[in-house]
Structure 1
């Protein structure tokens, strides 16, 4: 066990830098805040650099069992409340956070899975939407997620909080869709998207054979470049006067219809 009380400590400065994307990219690490998310990462197969906790409160009792079963080599560091405040993104500092290593790309693994159900996000910029789609994908048993260029950073603290730990349950990769989708199509994956002009309802489409479902930007939809790579469009029927659905809501509807078909 190590104790750090000063906010001027070099390691603390490194942790605080992880609140910015450029430093997350440079260090290859990111921050996971709070008991629930730290528990989720401890129960996953992700590599943890260290667990940082309030020196006065100690390691939260809720994490004891997860720590006992964690087989990695994480360091445990007690810090002052000032350090916690400097290194976390929430208004009320969490009593514990973890520094986690980013993962190597799982692209090849995702491409080789037959009949896969993959959510593909094209320039979805809101961290809450990205995180919620990851969470819904996990709940519906999706195979994985692809974040294209322009999407909210996967390791943004707001994105991570919105996933509620689902980030650690299924493959999530970042890729250039103009390069990845043609390869997916060559591997036999159907690239699907929604359109108000489509004639086939999502409830009529057969999801049992799999699909890579493209969800576009909150205001502009999918880009012209990505649209050219879509094999088929389907419609989410609506009876009211709403013009369209939120990206996360539309994703959830499609995911759970796919789940219904795939488990029946």
Structure 2
């Protein structure tokens, strides 16, 4: 299939996915570039369309992944103008894909015995959300819970920041007021950071798992969430910086958890 006009109805739908309200309505999102499309193919996500530059053809780097992919994606060649209309980056990528959303199940996260799960409470910066997902993937966390008020998981900036880790780690978008009490009923320990905490994150025992809660960049975790958190840890610092940003704090805790669980 080939589409050259930016006025094509299908093209208009693809471009609309740059807007959250249309992503929510259609339950689909757009990913840009060879790396992200490759990760989606390798992870067997439900891809509806793979769209590429009609002059350049399907990127050679994707052909092996496409050959191994079991899904029913449609392949569409388009003009440079269509690529520009449908992509968020300043320099349009030679390929993009339309992917169906996939929300993790709370039951699947709770099945993981002694798991490390990252919980985000009002983290609003797409770069921070994406970086935390990437760190969770790299450190072997079993999932991420994205509470209301966080940056949209499917925002193009969030997706780029995950560097493909979105396709590797289960992400549950949910109301923390419902999810966290349910997790606690199943024996999950909730731990967060606090400048007033007496226990260092390097003294805390992550070996039995726990759900690590990271709050808003400026305000921290909400009052409702704070009432549910049982454990608080301090990230020791020697310099003059008052604190770390949300993504850096999450990464420190995730990798300390990994160190204790796999390297000790």
What is the rounded CA distance, in whole Å, between the counterparts of 1:13 and 1:208 in structure 2? 50
What is the rounded CA distance, in whole Å, between the counterparts of 2:103 and 2:92 in structure 1? 30
Structure 1 portions without partners, runs of 5+: none
Deviation of the 1:241 alpha carbon: 1.0
Deviation of the 1:107 alpha carbon: 1.8
What is the rounded CA distance, in whole Å, between the counterparts of 1:104 and 1:259 in structure 2? 25
Please tell me whether residue 197 in structure 1 is matched to residue 196 in structure 2: yes
What SS does the aligned partner of 1:198 have?
coil
Deviation of the 1:146 alpha carbon: 0.6
What SS does the aligned partner of 2:197 have?
coil
- Runs of 4+ off more than 3 Å: none
TM-score by length of 1: 0.99
Please tell me whether residue 121 in structure 1 is matched to residue 120 in structure 2: yes
The aligned runs of 1:84-123 (5 Å cut-off) are: 84-123=83-122
TM-score by length of 2: 0.99
Asked if the contact 2:189/2:230 (under 8 Å) is kept, the reply is: yes
What is the rounded CA distance, in whole Å, between the counterparts of 2:85 and 2:168 in structure 1? 29
What is the rounded CA distance, in whole Å, between the counterparts of 1:16 and 1:234 in structure 2? 44
What is the rounded CA distance, in whole Å, between the counterparts of 1:49 and 1:108 in structure 2? 27
Aligned residue number for residue 219 of structure 2: 220
Q: In 2 relative to 1, CA 216–104 (structure 1 residues): closer, same or farther, beyond 3 Å?
A: closer
What SS does the aligned partner of 1:97 have?
strand
Deviation of the 1:158 alpha carbon: 0.3
Please tell me whether residue 65 in structure 1 is matched to residue 64 in structure 2: yes
Deviation of the 1:173 alpha carbon: 1.1
What is the rounded CA distance, in whole Å, between the counterparts of 1:35 and 1:45 in structure 2? 15
Aligned residue number for residue 135 of structure 2: 136
Aligned length: 263
What is the rounded CA distance, in whole Å, between the counterparts of 2:124 and 2:254 in structure 1? 20
Q: CA RMSD in A?
A: 0.7
What SS does the aligned partner of 1:209 have?
coil
Deviation of the 1:45 alpha carbon: 2.3
Deviation of the 1:106 alpha carbon: 2.1
